[in-house]
Structure 1
């Protein structure tokens, strides 16, 4: 029985990588956190739910004879990444981080980049009173004190408490193209967008729309990369595996 690959997924990149590795004849298991009720499932074996911290993940790696872990989680899933670094160090397992590149501003963009949602909440009041908030359904409590601002909160599922007092929720799953985003911003008379700098094309349409309308955007910077090999695309990840022929078969 050859060593297996564990893909810590939940992203489009994770799903695509699991499919490509399976096509190469590599035994892959994808792990999803289970925070979304109806997640898009990757090809092959899937486990849903947490591991029980870094110790639980290390125990799983040993028990399941995992040879390589690919951290293909969301760029802001910092706790899972920290657990992956610790568990792979403890067990001597290879770790590869698949992290999509952050968005970069163009000359026509008015971006205000901050390091946390708390900073974003402080900044947004300086820029507008009608806000499209697309930072995910957790940690919205950072904006709960903004009583003179109206928020359109867009999440995949219903957001968690506490919530901003003046808000409307919109549950939707991307991709969101530029035309649809332009219509959304105009319909709701949005004056500023707040988002995490997640990178990728699935939700980039709102940035294109903001550029066309001349709207400011508050973006939370991606966390620092962990001390591990990092690739930014599925193609780069496959190259990394092929260079280790013992895994690629």
Structure 2
């Protein structure tokens, strides 16, 4: 007898996937990192907190007889994605990675693409002005030494790192619509938007609003991802691959 699907989550896609699995009667455990104080919980069984690295994740898979591992974490959750790839190999189970497509610039977009948050801070220090910073609370410290700009720092939970000398904290959680994003940029006289290339629709509106207003966007490109057994871009594709895996002789014992 096999155990539950282990779903590494924390994203809107992961919550949708958990709901589909529960509706289908498929046992699933959603795992959240616990970095947000009040996360949006998916339906079904949930565990919160880390596994203790690759070995801890492998041990959980083996102990609970999980037949498949699904990585539906944030595109910038580099550590857990690499740990998942290694743990799945060690545990001998297939890994499905749900990787939403990255945003692509359109003809009206003014993007400066950088490799990491540190490079984004260098661009901001050079540009100055008034900045909407939406890279997440864990990366705010990279901008602490920037004295040439004022920051509107939008986060879910308060940052714990050092903060830039000129800033305002805006605690907010998406999704965001175009009208409110345009108003936010205009009311705060924003000159520059700094964000990560998370992809998806929940926070895309700020990019459209920036393009409408002719603002520059400093875009942090995604980190490299590990090779996996199955890489898909939608929840429906995950479900299709899961059906194949869960009905194969390997997992049903026939």
Alignment TM class, shorter chain as reference: over 0.9
The more displaced of 125-134 and 238-247 is 238-247
Deviations 1:10-30 (A, max 9, x none): 000001011112222211000
Q: CA deviation at 1:107?
A: 0.6
Match of 2:240 in 1: 239
> What TM-score, normalized by structure 1, do the two folds share?
0.96
Match of 1:10 in 2: 10
> What TM-score, normalized by structure 2, do the two folds share?
0.94
RMSD over aligned CA atoms reads 1.4
Q: CA deviation at 1:239?
A: 1.6
Q: CA deviation at 1:209?
A: 0.3
Deviations 1:204-233 (A, max 9, x none): 110010010000000101122220121111
Distance in 1 (CA, whole Å) between partners of 2:210 and 2:194 is 11
1:199 aligns with 2:199: yes
Query: Pairwise mapping of residues 66-145 of structure 1 onto structure 2 (< 5 A)?
Result: 66-145=66-145
Match of 2:223 in 1: 223
Secondary structure of the 1:138 match is: helix
Match of 1:20 in 2: 20
Where structure 1 has 5 or more consecutive residues not aligned to the other structure, the ranges are none
Q: CA deviation at 1:245?
A: 4.9
Distance in 2 (CA, whole Å) between partners of 1:25 and 1:142 is 45
Distance in 2 (CA, whole Å) between partners of 1:67 and 1:28 is 10
Where structure 2 has 5 or more consecutive residues not aligned to the other structure, the ranges are none
Match of 1:60 in 2: 60
4+ aligned runs moved over 6 Å, structure 1: none
CA contact (8 A) 2:116 2:221 kept: yes
Report how many aligned residue pairs link the two structures: 249
Match of 2:171 in 1: 171
Distance in 2 (CA, whole Å) between partners of 1:11 and 1:244 is 23
Distance in 2 (CA, whole Å) between partners of 1:163 and 1:21 is 41
Match of 1:152 in 2: 152
Distance in 2 (CA, whole Å) between partners of 1:30 and 1:245 is 17
Q: CA deviation at 1:4?
A: 2.0
Distance in 1 (CA, whole Å) between partners of 2:35 and 2:213 is 34
Q: CA deviation at 1:128?
A: 4.2
